Every structure is written in structure tokens, then in C-alpha cells.
Chains A and B, each alone.
Chain A
């Protein structure tokens, strides 16, 4: 076992443990904190897999933006403690079992699959030399230019949608109060 593999096992263990913590906390604040740990370790995993840019993105967007959004909402909601109660669905053992079965099946599928390497134009040493940012940028702005433009539209729509949904409508603006 070399150093990379040791790091991987560490990251994997932390990811799994804190994922479980995330979905089992009664108080969402603790869940968000656990999720933050998961995201950081996933970012570390990306570095191990030669994707430094994605790792940075993971930290900046996921940990920095999305999770802060979650915390904001939690603060805005100021849910009374008792409203949080009864954390799980009434048939949760059955549902958990189904989820577990799905995982098992997927694992089985992966175990039986063979993944022959089909070397593409970006082997690790090339990527390391030019930097993963440049490598991704090259592909993103050539081959994936149109999807890239479309995704900007998606973000725009989401932004407008979020504003419209959360805005308090006054009667003068043609809607009922507090829609």
C-alpha cells in the first residue's frame, strides 16, 4: 500500500462516516456541518484523482456557496425545536432496506464489470504538466461550448425562479400577500 492509497482510504472512511452522520442528525445545523466535512474530503479525493480544478470548485461552490445558502435558510426559517421532532418517515426501516438493496445491487454490478483502460488525449502526466484548469478549459470552451452557454441560462432561470418564489407579493403587485 502506497501513500496515495492510504490517503484514499482515509478520505473514503471520512466521507462514508460523515455522510451517515449527515442523514441521521435530528438538528439540520449538525447535518450541514457534517456535510461540510464530506465536501472537504471529496475535494481531497479529487486532488488524488488529478482533478485539482474540480477540487477547488468543490470547495468554492459546494462548501462555500451552497452550504452557506443552507445555513442562511436555516437561520431564516428559525424552526421551533419541537417542529423538528419525529425525524424519520414512519416506515423508515423498509425504505432504508430498499436503499441498501439498491446499493448492494450497484456494487454487485460494479464488481462484475471490467473497465478496460482506453487511453484518451489527457494522461495524468500531461494533465499534471499543463494543469487540470487549462485541460478542462480547453475542452469546455471547444467541445462543450453550447452546453456551457445553456448551463448559464439554467443558472439565470434558477436565479429568477428563486427570487420570484421567495418574494413577498403585495396586493399592489397583483398577487396575494405572502404567497
Chain B
């Protein structure tokens, strides 16, 4: 195949979902309940094309192409283009595969919804945006699609916009992301101002050359606070990643985003969009690498989020929120990996997480579907025999999340822990934190399994009546994801020579990173053993709490009532933000921006312009006599004046 044919094939990957979006978006009135016949084939075809791309990349063919010049203003020159390297290939596979399965699953889950075509339109638009995000070859293009996936997230969280809580959650997601994206935007500006380019490769080279430059942050105020330029850039970019990937303290939007339909939670808020931050940090790793303090920040934020979100996940009662906090926690693990320089492992965990967390969300959706919309795990229980397929797949997902050996999550999470252990003193501390997080993870994962599927049924009589297994169009994607949640980890088996296929595959992307030698195989083995024990311990505790001795949880909760309420109320984050930011903003807006700035200044000015124009026009309209000869007279007077000036200037 010639180069242009290959490029065309690569471009079809994002174009097919875009076409599906256009068809369903523009003609949704006609496609209606047949909307999936447009979207599903498009996305599945994208997935198949991605496999070809993967094959090409495996044989060492990378693509870098500028499609057209987008903006050229002075030195500001941005093209729209695509770049395909191993990192992009992995992301393409993850995005298209999960997206395909979610599209198929949605046929069953969204059946009969009045916004069916709209839902598929947005889902396809999201897939397009996400694919372009990972395909882009410069930061501005990345940023545009970064915002586009945010928009799709907003639209899909608010799919049931007639529900107040859904509309609020959508707005919250958008506004909180704005905080992070403000940092991202500043980062882009700083990069352009100092390095003069936004192209990846050029930025990496420029950043390397500018390693020792500093920026005086307080210069405009007369003070002095020198910050390393590269550090500042990396931190600003990371701020964007924190918003998108729901890291502390910008995580507050993700649990609320569960107001959206469950397939959306699986695709956007677990598998793909929220991992865009991790992808971005991995993509920009040459910049991060230059700044040890930025790296440390990434690692600490990641580790902190991992444990913090896990503690909240322990006590939540909404099945989707538990999984959502688990997602926040797992994203923390990915950033932890990035922060210690183990980008390949971060991407590996991103991939396995996409599969097992997508599985858990879709499984949760299947449970909710079976119970006609019930999400409170206190009103579930004993569903094991009634919805066996959902149970089995959910169990597989939970085992994978908990990090039980041979399941996918085990390999990736374990590798993160191991690498953290070998990454200096800070790494050692973070290893401890992450290990504790792993314990909590195993516990809450199985708390969910036991509360939902085991024990006595606590269903409301009404719901118990209708319990039914989901149709095959939903269970088949579950089974496929279950298979992936087991086997996707096998591309990164540690210890065995040649087992770490994905690390080897991604190596060309991260070749600049100092490689940590696996010095002591025996020590590494013991580390793995410890984490396995911890995972099993978590499961055992969950087993004790929720199966053998059901009175335990209440006893523990009443023993530490303050702590319990702290966790139940999510460390009061929403309340703190409300008190510290939302309310003052509203008060200032009302007292000053509305009643003074808007009414007295802007309105007064606008009205003044209007009335002055009106009064002037009232007197000037008289010069329009309507007599043609008066107009001709004006022309002649003009001629007279021009010739007079000419004569005078002779």
C-alpha cells in the first residue's frame, strides 16, 4: 500500500464515528430507534481499522503527517495532523474496542429512551473526539479535542436533562474541568511564548534547551520568585490533567457524573476520557522528565488521590459511585506511575483498567437495568442466582480490580507498586501508600460483590418482582470485556524474560527515560507476594464483614463515628468548595457584577448609546427630503468643494 492509502485508512478511524455523529445528529428524527445501525457499524469498523494500524506499528511503521495548515499568524503556525506511534496505537485499540462494546451494550441499555438517536450521536461524537485527541501531532490540536471530549462528557452526563440533578452534574463537570483547563491553556501559552512552537517534537527539543531557564512569577508585582520554566510548564499542563482525570482536589465532578447513563460512565468516565490526562502526561513526558519537582508533584498527587478516593469508596452506598471513586483511585495509580517515570506501566494500567473498569460499570449498569433503576446497594443482595451472567462477569472485573493474580489488574497494578518501591525514598513512601490503597481497593471491590450478589435479598418487593437478566446484546459485551479483563494483563508479565511485551512495544516512545534496572529478582518476587497477600487480605476482610459476620460494619462505624461520617460525606469536599468558592462567587456576582457592573455601567452605557443615536437621528432625518434634486445638489456641492480645494492648493 502506498503512503497516501495508509494515511487515508488511518484517517478513516476517526472519520467513521464523525460520519455516524453527523447522520444521527442531523437526521436523528428519521433514524430514531434505528440509530445504532449507523453508529455501531461505524465504530466497529474503526476498531477493525485500528487493528491494522496496530499491525503496522508492531512491524515498526510509524506515521507522522500534517494534513493542512490551520492557523498562520506571524510566528504562530499550527497544522492539523496525525501522529501514530506505539502509544497512539495502544490508545486507539483501547478507545475503539471499549467504544464498540459500549455502543453495542447501549442498544439494550438505552432501548426505548426518547433521546435514543441523540445518545448515539453524542457517543459517536465522543469517540471521534477521543480518537483525534490521541491522534493529534501538536498541543493545540490536542487541546481542541481535549475540550471536545469535555463537551461530549457534558452533553452525555446531561443526557436526561429534564432531571435537575443530571443537568447540575453536567454543569459541575464542565465548570470543574474549566479550572484545570485554565491551567492547561496557560501552559500552552507559556510554551508558545517561550519555545515558539506547539508541535510535540519541537516542544521536546525546545524544553530540553530551556532546562535551566527560570521565570520570575512575581515580577509584575515587584517581588521575586524564580520558578524553573520547564517546571512551570509541566505543572500547568498537569493542572489540565488533574481536571480531566479527576485528581485531588478537582475530583469532585467525577462521582456526580454518574448521573449520566451507565454506558457513558463506562466509556467516558472510566475507560477513555478520564484517562486522557494520563495519556497527555505520558505524551509530554520529555517535558516532565526535565523537572524532578514536577515529577514529584505528579507522583504525590497520584498517590494521594489513590488512597483518598479509596477511603471514600469504602462507605458509599450507590453502586455507581463506589465504582466511580474506584476509578478516581485507579487514575491516581496511573499518575503515580507517571510520576516515578514508569510511563509504560501507566499506559499498561490505563489499558487493563479500561477493560476491567468498563466491565464493572457495564456490569453495574446491568444490575441497575435488572432492578429497574435501583442504584442503592443497601436495597440489593442475593442477586447471584437471578442474574448469573452479570454476576460472573462482575466478579471477574472485581477480581481484576482487586489485583488477584492472573487477572489483568494484578499485572499492571503490581508493576506500579514494584517500580514505586525502587524509585527512591519518595517512591518507597508512595509504595506504602499504594499498598494500603490496594488493600482498600480489594476490600471495597468485594464489599460491592457481597452486598449486591450475596446474602439475603433486601430488594423492595416491587423491584424483586421484575428482576431479569439483561438481553444478550448487553451480556455479550460483558463477556468480551470479562475475557479482556483477564487476558489483557498477560502482555505485561513481570519477572519472566520476554514477558513484558507491552513495555517492549512502548519502549520507542519512552526511550529517553532512564531505565530502572530490575536489580534484585528475589526482592521483586517478595514484593509481588506482599501485594498478593494484601489483595487477598482485603477480600478476606470483606468476606468477614459482609458475609460471615454482617454485624461488623455497623460496629466499626459506631466505633469511629467521626471518621465514618467524614468518609460518608467524602471528606466534606463539596461543602468546602461550596463555602470557599461557590458562595463568595455568588455573593460578589449579585452585589457587584450584577447590580453595579451590569446594571449601572454596562446597561447604562448601552442604553446611552441607543438614546443618543435616537435623538441624533430625530434631527438629522430632516436632511432626507426625498427630493431627487436635493440629492443631486449634494453631489454638485461636493464637486464644487473638491474643485475649490484643488484650486486653493494649486
Q: Which residues of A contact B (CB under 8 A)?
A: 89, 95, 98-99, 101-102, 105-106, 108-109, 112
B637 CB contacts on chain A under 8 angstroms:
98
A89-B629, A95-B629, A98-B633 known; A105+B640 contact, CB < 8 A: yes
Q: Say whether B633 contacts A102, CB under 8 Å.
A: no
Q: What 5 A-B pairs are tightest by C-beta distance, nearest first?
A: A105-B643, A102-B640, A89-B629, A98-B636, A102-B636
B629 CB contacts on chain A under 8 angstroms:
89, 95
A105 CB contacts on chain B under 8 angstroms:
640, 643-644, 647
Q: Say whether A112 contacts B640, CB under 8 Å.
A: no
A109 CB contacts on chain B under 8 angstroms:
643, 646-647
Tell me, in angstroms, the Cα distance from A47 to B643 when the chains sit together. Answer: 31
Residue in chain A with minimal CB distance to B629 = A89
Judged by a CB distance under 8 angstroms, whether B205 is at the interface is no
Q: Say whether B640 contacts A98, CB under 8 Å.
A: yes
Judged by a CB distance under 8 angstroms, whether B650 is at the interface is yes
Given A98-B640, A106-B643, 11 additional A-B pairs, CB 8 A: A95-B629, A98-B636, A99-B636, A101-B640, A105-B643, A105-B644, A105-B647, A108-B647, A109-B646, A112-B647, A112-B650
A106 CB contacts on chain B under 8 angstroms:
643
Binary contact readout B630-650 vs A (1 if CB under 8 angstroms, 0 otherwise): 000100110110011011001
A101-B640, A102-B640, A105-B640 known; A95+B633 contact, CB < 8 A: yes
Binary contact readout B607-642 vs A (1 if CB under 8 angstroms, 0 otherwise): 000000000000000000000010001001101100
Tell me, in angstroms, the Cα distance from A89 to B640 when the chains sit together. Answer: 20
Tell me, in angstroms, the Cα distance from A99 to B633 when the chains sit together. Answer: 9
Tell me, in angstroms, the Cα distance from A106 to B640 when the chains sit together. Answer: 9
Interface size band for B: 10 to 19
Residue in chain B with minimal CB distance to A108 = B647
Interface of B is mostly: helix
Q: How distant is B451 from chain A, measured CB to nearest CB, in Å? A: 77
Residue in chain A with minimal CB distance to B633 = A95
Tell me, in angstroms, the Cα distance from A95 to B644 when the chains sit together. Answer: 18
Tell me, in angstroms, the Cα distance from A164 to B5 when the chains sit together. Answer: 56
Interface of A is mostly: helix
Q: How distant is B215 from chain A, measured CB to nearest CB, in Å? A: 62
Q: Say whether B650 contacts A102, CB under 8 Å.
A: no
Residue in chain A with minimal CB distance to B639 = A102
Tell me, in angstroms, the Cα distance from A117 to B640 when the chains sit together. Answer: 28
Residue in chain B with minimal CB distance to A89 = B629
Q: How distant is A179 from chain B, measured CB to nearest CB, in Å? A: 21
B646 CB contacts on chain A under 8 angstroms:
109
Tell me, in angstroms, the Cα distance from A99 to B639 when the chains sit together. Answer: 10
Residue in chain A with minimal CB distance to B632 = A95
Binary contact readout B492-528 vs A (1 if CB under 8 angstroms, 0 otherwise): 0000000000000000000000000000000000000
Tell me, in angstroms, the Cα distance from A89 to B625 when the chains sit together. Answer: 14
Interface centre among B637, B640, B650 (most CB of A within 10 A): B640
Tell me, in angstroms, the Cα distance from A106 to B643 when the chains sit together. Answer: 7
Tell me, in angstroms, the Cα distance from A105 to B646 when the chains sit together. Answer: 10
A112 CB contacts on chain B under 8 angstroms:
647, 650
Tell me, in angstroms, the Cα distance from A98 to B644 when the chains sit together. Answer: 13
Binary contact readout B299-336 vs A (1 if CB under 8 angstroms, 0 otherwise): 00000000000000000000000000000000000000
Tell me, in angstroms, the Cα distance from A89 to B630 when the chains sit together. Answer: 10
Tell me, in angstroms, the Cα distance from A64 to B646 when the chains sit together. Answer: 39
Interface centre among A98, A99, A105, A109 (most CB of B within 10 A): A105
Tell me, in angstroms, the Cα distance from A99 to B646 when the chains sit together. Answer: 18
Tell me, in angstroms, the Cα distance from A108 to B647 when the chains sit together. Answer: 8
Ordered by A's residue number, 24 sampled pairs between the chains whose C-beta atoms are within 8 Å are A89-B629, A95-B629, A95-B633, A98-B633, A98-B636, A98-B637, A98-B640, A99-B636, A101-B640, A102-B636, A102-B639, A102-B640, A102-B643, A105-B640, A105-B643, A105-B644, A105-B647, A106-B643, A108-B647, A109-B643, A109-B646, A109-B647, A112-B647, A112-B650
B639 CB contacts on chain A under 8 angstroms:
102
A102 CB contacts on chain B under 8 angstroms:
636, 639-640, 643
Tell me, in angstroms, the Cα distance from A95 to B637 when the chains sit together. Answer: 10
Residue in chain B with minimal CB distance to A99 = B636
Tell me, in angstroms, the Cα distance from A95 to B640 when the chains sit together. Answer: 12
B650 CB contacts on chain A under 8 angstroms:
112
Tell me, in angstroms, the Cα distance from A8 to B636 when the chains sit together. Answer: 29
Tell me, in angstroms, the Cα distance from A101 to B644 when the chains sit together. Answer: 10
Tell me, in angstroms, the Cα distance from A99 to B637 when the chains sit together. Answer: 9
Q: How distant is B645 from chain A, measured CB to nearest CB, in Å? A: 10
Tell me, in angstroms, the Cα distance from A15 to B535 when the chains sit together. Answer: 115
Q: How distant is A162 from chain B, measured CB to nearest CB, in Å? A: 20
B644 CB contacts on chain A under 8 angstroms:
105
Tell me, in angstroms, the Cα distance from A109 to B633 when the chains sit together. Answer: 21
A95 CB contacts on chain B under 8 angstroms:
629, 633
B647 CB contacts on chain A under 8 angstroms:
105, 108-109, 112
Q: How distant is B649 from chain A, measured CB to nearest CB, in Å? A: 12
Q: How distant is B51 from chain A, measured CB to nearest CB, in Å? A: 60
Q: How distant is B636 from chain A, measured CB to nearest CB, in Å? A: 6
Tell me, in angstroms, the Cα distance from A109 to B642 when the chains sit together. Answer: 12
Tell me, in angstroms, the Cα distance from A99 to B629 when the chains sit together. Answer: 12
Q: How distant is B245 from chain A, measured CB to nearest CB, in Å? A: 65
Q: How distant is B355 from chain A, measured CB to nearest CB, in Å? A: 68
Tell me, in angstroms, the Cα distance from A105 to B647 when the chains sit together. Answer: 8
Tell me, in angstroms, the Cα distance from A31 to B431 when the chains sit together. Answer: 109
Tell me, in angstroms, the Cα distance from A46 to B136 when the chains sit together. Answer: 74
Q: How distant is A105 from chain B, measured CB to nearest CB, in Å? A: 4
Residue in chain A with minimal CB distance to B627 = A89
Tell me, in angstroms, the Cα distance from A89 to B633 when the chains sit together. Answer: 12
